[in-house]
Amino acid sequence: MLKPNFFPISTLIALTLLLTACGDKAPENEQPGPAAIAFFEAIYNQDDLNAAVKLATPQYGRILESYHSAKRVQSVLFNRRYDSVQIEEDKAQMGRSLIPASAKNATVSLMLDGTYDGNRHRDIKYVVMVKQQGKWLVDKLKADVYR
- Residues 77-113 pLDDT 10s: 888 899 889 999 987 644 455 566 667 898 999 999 9
Rounded distance between C-alpha atoms, residue 85 and residue 18, angstroms: 37
Q: Is 3.10.450.50 the CATH number for 28-95+102-141? A: yes
Angle at 52 between CA 26 and CA 138, to 5 degrees: 70
Q: Could you tell me the pTM of the whole model? A: 0.73
Which residues, in sequence order, are CB contacts of 126 under 8 Å at separation 6+? 107, 108, 109, 110, 141, 142, 144
The domain limits of the chain are: 28-95+102-141
Model pLDDT, residue 146? 63
